[in-house]
Amino acid sequence: MNDRKRQVLLTAQRLFVEKGFSATSVQDILEESKISKGTFYNYFSSKNECLLAILERIKVETSVRRRELLIGRSASSKDILAEQISIHMQVSQEQNLLPLFEAIFHSGDPELRAFVTKQFKEELSWLSGRIIDIYGEEVTPFAADCTVLLLGMLQHMTHIWMLLSKGQVDHEKLVHFIIRRMDSIINGMIGTDDIFIGGEILFNIDQAKSEKTYSKEQLLFQLDGFQKHLEGETKPEEKQYIQFLMDELREARPRTFLLETITHSFNNTFTATPHEAEAQEIASKLWYYADTIK
Amino acid sequence: MNDRKRQVLLTAQRLFVEKGFSATSVQDILEESKISKGTFYNYFSSKNECLLAILERIKVETSVRRRELLIGRSASSKDILAEQISIHMQVSQEQNLLPLFEAIFHSGDPELRAFVTKQFKEELSWLSGRIIDIYGEEVTPFAADCTVLLLGMLQHMTHIWMLLSKGQVDHEKLVHFIIRRMDSIINGMIGTDDIFIGGEILFNIDQAKSEKTYSKEQLLFQLDGFQKHLEGETKPEEKQYIQFLMDELREARPRTFLLETITHSFNNTFTATPHEAEAQEIASKLWYYADTIK
DNA sequence: TCACCTTTGTACGCTTAGTATAATTGTATT
DNA sequence: AATACAATTATACTAAGCGTACAAAGGTGA
Do B165 and B229 have their domain in common? no
Do B109 and B244 have their domain in common? no
Average pLDDT, chain B: 85
Q: What pLDDT shows up at residue B173?
A: 94
The helix/strand/coil state of B205 is helix
Boundary of a domain, candidates A211, A227, A248 = A211
Do A238 and A113 have their domain in common? no
Q: What pLDDT shows up at residue B209?
A: 55
Report whether pLDDT(A256) > 70: yes
Q: What is the mean pLDDT of residues A95-111?
A: 68
pLDDT tens-digit profile of A193-225? 899 988 777 666 555 555 566 778 878 888 887
Do B196 and B244 have their domain in common? no
Contact B198, A157 (CB under 8 A): no
Q: Which long-range contacts (CB under 8 A, 24 or more apart) does B106-110 make?
A: B106/A20, B106/A21, B106/A22, B106/A23, B106/A96, B106/A99, B106/A103, B107/A20, B107/A22, B107/A23, B107/B48, B108/A19, B108/A20, B108/A23, B109/B48
- The total of structural domains in chain B comes to 3
CATH number at residue A5: 1.10.10.60
Do A246 and A109 have their domain in common? no
DSSP characters over A79-141? HHHHHHHHHHHHHHTGGGHHHHHHHHHTSS-HHHHHHHHHHHHHHHHHHHHHHHHHH-GGGGG
Q: What pLDDT shows up at residue A185?
A: 96
Confidence of residue A133 (pLDDT cuts 50, 70, 90): very high
Could you tell me if residue A49 is inside a domain?
no
Could you tell me if residue B262 is inside a domain?
yes
Rounded to whole angstroms, how far apart are CA atoms B81 and A263? 54
Q: What is the mean pLDDT of residues A176-196?
A: 94
- Chain A: closest CA distance from residue B289 (Å): 27
Do A123 and A189 have their domain in common? yes
Q: What pLDDT shows up at residue B114?
A: 80
Q: What pLDDT shows up at residue B111?
A: 73
Strand C contact with A108 (CB < 7 A):
no
CA proximity to B62, closest of B98, B95, B87: B87
Contact A63, A284 (CB under 8 A): yes
- Chain B: closest CA distance from residue A104 (Å): 11
Could you tell me if residue B131 is inside a domain?
yes
Residue A188 or residue A269, greater confidence:
A188
Q: Which of residues 35-74 of B touch strand C (CB under 7 A)?
A: 37-38, 41, 45-48
Cβ–Cβ below 8 Å for A99 and B120? no
Q: What pLDDT shows up at residue A209?
A: 54
Distance B35 CA to D2 C1' (A): 30
Do B206 and B86 have their domain in common? yes
Could you tell me if residue A148 is inside a domain?
yes
Q: What is the mean pLDDT of residues A263-285?
A: 81
Q: What pLDDT shows up at residue B166?
A: 66
Cβ–Cβ below 8 Å for A107 and B173? no
Could you tell me if residue A50 is inside a domain?
no
Do A84 and A205 have their domain in common? yes
Cβ–Cβ below 8 Å for A98 and B103? no
Residue B264's domain comprises: 216-292
Cβ–Cβ below 8 Å for B197 and A164? yes
Could you tell me if residue B201 is inside a domain?
yes
Q: SS3 helix, strand, coil % of chain B, rounded to 5? A: 80, 0, 20
Q: What are the phi and psi torsion angles at A72 (to 5°)?
A: 70, 15
Cβ–Cβ below 8 Å for A185 and B183? no
Query: In chain B, which stretches have pLDDT less than 50?
Result: none
Boundary of a domain, candidates B211, B238, B266 = B211
Q: What pLDDT shows up at residue A95?
A: 61
Most confident of the ranges A88-92, A142-146, A269-273, B107-111: A142-146
Q: What pLDDT shows up at residue A232?
A: 60
B163 contact residues in A (CB cutoff 8 A) = 117, 120
Q: What pLDDT shows up at residue A153?
A: 96
Boundary of a domain, candidates B188, B211, B234 = B211
In Å, how far are A83, A197, B20, B46, B180 from A184, measured between CA atoms?
A: 20, 19, 37, 47, 11
Could you tell me if residue A53 is inside a domain?
no
Average pLDDT, chain A: 84
Do A239 and A108 have their domain in common? no
In Å, how far are A127, A172, A181, B114, B294 from A199, measured between CA atoms?
A: 13, 28, 20, 40, 51
Do B30 and B63 have their domain in common? no
| DSSP H helix total and E strand total for chain B | 14, 0
A188-202: string of b/e by CB count within 10 Å (b at 16+)?
Answer: bbeeeebebbebebb
Do A180 and A64 have their domain in common? yes
Rounded to whole angstroms, how far apart are CA atoms A43 and A193? 51
Do A101 and A200 have their domain in common? yes
Q: What pLDDT shows up at residue A78?
A: 92
Share of chain A above pLDDT 70, in %: 88
Most confident of the ranges A15-24, A93-102, A259-268, B142-151: B142-151
- Which nucleotides of chain C does any protein CB come within 7 A of? 6-11, 15-22
Strand C contact with A2 (CB < 7 A):
yes
Nearest nucleotide relative to A22: CA against C1': D17
Cβ–Cβ below 8 Å for A157 and B148? yes
Nearest to A152 among B103, B152, B163 (CB): B152
pLDDT tens-digit profile of A9-59? 999 999 988 887 888 899 999 999 999 999 999 999 999 899 999 988 998
Q: What pLDDT shows up at residue B205?
A: 59
Report whether pLDDT(A131) > 90: yes
Report whether pLDDT(A273) > 80: no
CA proximity to A258, closest of A284, A234, A294: A294
Could you tell me if residue B273 is inside a domain?
yes
Nearest CA in chain A to B160: A148
Distance B32 CA to C22 C1' (A): 26
pLDDT tens-digit profile of A136-156? 999 999 999 999 999 999 999
